[in-house]
């Protein structure tokens, strides 16, 4: 275990490294995949898009859960995190993830029978429909809490001024739905109009890109003047520790290129390849935003 340079910690800004280095990559992966899966699942419910809901559930089950457990260090002790929902967003988020592992599964079972009647022989005994309002409501609620909970977990980071703002949960919410549209656009070359209304998805993506860009600008502006440590974090996003991912990943790939592509789509025809490229850029932007935000977090000096 490296020695802490207490004198430096007392008088200088100290980077937060637990969430951004080493096993911290597992946490960032969990934050990212949970967000885009939650966004994809909610959009799929709105679009009645069966494949999207299945993929969202698979992402949570096969990527988010393992990544989160690998970060914990003692995976079999995770159950201790769920006992303080009255005061901890970490507990609320973990509970929502456990709910998401159950209720979407129940809903998708029945929805699959409705989509493929041949399965009625094996699953026809299910006493609920694919869109039972109670099951769908709980599943949607758990997906929403899973998305927004990530933002509140980051915003609750003690001693890091750049995180301690209500704008962080809104950023996570916007980026999660943007990631959901990105995943659908990524699948668009293999989808038909019967699967999903791509015009609606492109319209949602267009609005989300505008809202997300505005939130990023407001976040940077307000945090810059929130305090010396917060100001240092913003500087690090453009010229310091996080600049290599924030500027090219978040600004260029995550916002400028998708906005340009989607805007061109309002006046001209977009090829599937261009749409695919823009969707990949959206997803890269979502991951690098979470990484950059966490990487740029610094503790203020004690004196």
In DSSP terms, 15 is beta-bridged to: 298
Instruction: Yes or no: say if 34 and 25 are a contact pair by the CB < 8 Å rule.
Output: no
Taking the complete model, does pTM exceed 0.85, yes or no?
yes
Q: How far apart are CA 256 and CA 207, in angstroms?
A: 14
CATH number of 6-299: 1.20.1630.10
Q: What share of the chain is helix, strand, coil (3-state, %, to 5)?
A: 75, 0, 25
The secondary structure of residue 75, as a DSSP letter, is G
The secondary structure of residue 60, as a DSSP letter, is I
**pLDDT, averaged in runs of 10, over the chain (303 residues):** 47 83 90 96 95 96 89 64 70 87 94 87 81 94 95 87 94 97 92 85 94 97 93 94 95 95 81 91 96 92 70
Q: How far apart are CA 196 and CA 191, in angstroms?
A: 7
What torsion do the CA atoms of 184, 188, 194, 197 make, to the nearest 10 degrees? 60
So what's the pLDDT on residue 10? 52
So what's the pLDDT on residue 303? 62
Q: Which residues of 279-290 are buried (b: 16+ CB within 10 A; e: fewer)?
A: bbbbbbbbbbbb
């Amino acid at each position: 275990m490296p020695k802490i340079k207490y004198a430096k910690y007392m008088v200088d800004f100290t980077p937060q490294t637990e969430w951004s280095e080493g096993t911290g990559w597992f946490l960032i992966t969990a934050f990212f995949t949970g967000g885009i899966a939650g966004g994809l699942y909610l959009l799929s419910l709105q679009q009645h898009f069966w494949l999207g809901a299945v993929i969202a559930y698979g992402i949570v089950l096969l990527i988010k859960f393992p990544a989160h457990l690998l970060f914990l260090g003692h995976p079999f002790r995770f159950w201790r995190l769920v006992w303080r929902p009255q005061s901890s967003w970490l507990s609320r988020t973990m509970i929502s993830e456990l709910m998401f592992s159950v209720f979407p599964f129940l809903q998708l079972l029945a929805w699959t029978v409705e989509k493929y009647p041949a399965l009625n022989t094996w699953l026809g005994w299910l006493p609920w429909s694919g869109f039972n309002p109670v099951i769908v409501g709980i599943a949607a609620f758990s997906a929403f809490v899973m998305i927004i909970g990530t933002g509140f977990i980051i915003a609750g980071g003690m001693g890091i001024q750049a995180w301690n703002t209500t704008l962080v949960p809104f950023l996570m919410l916007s980026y999660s739905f943007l990631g959901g549209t990105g995943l659908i656009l990524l699948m668009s070359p293999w989808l038909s109009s019967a699967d999903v209304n791509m015009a609606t998805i492109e319209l949602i993506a267009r609005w989300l890109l505008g809202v997300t860009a505005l939130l990023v600008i407001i976040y940077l502006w307000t945090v810059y003047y929130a305090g010396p440590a917060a100001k240092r974090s913003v500087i690090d996003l453009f010229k310091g520790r996080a600049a290599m991912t924030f500027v090219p990943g978040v600004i260029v790939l995550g916002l400028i290129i998708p906005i340009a592509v989607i805007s061109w789509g309002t006046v001209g025809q977009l090829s599937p390849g261009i749409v695919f490229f823009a969707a990949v850029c959206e997803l890269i932007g979502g991951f690098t935003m979470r990484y950059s935000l966490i990487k740029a977090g610094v503790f203020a000096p004690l004196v």
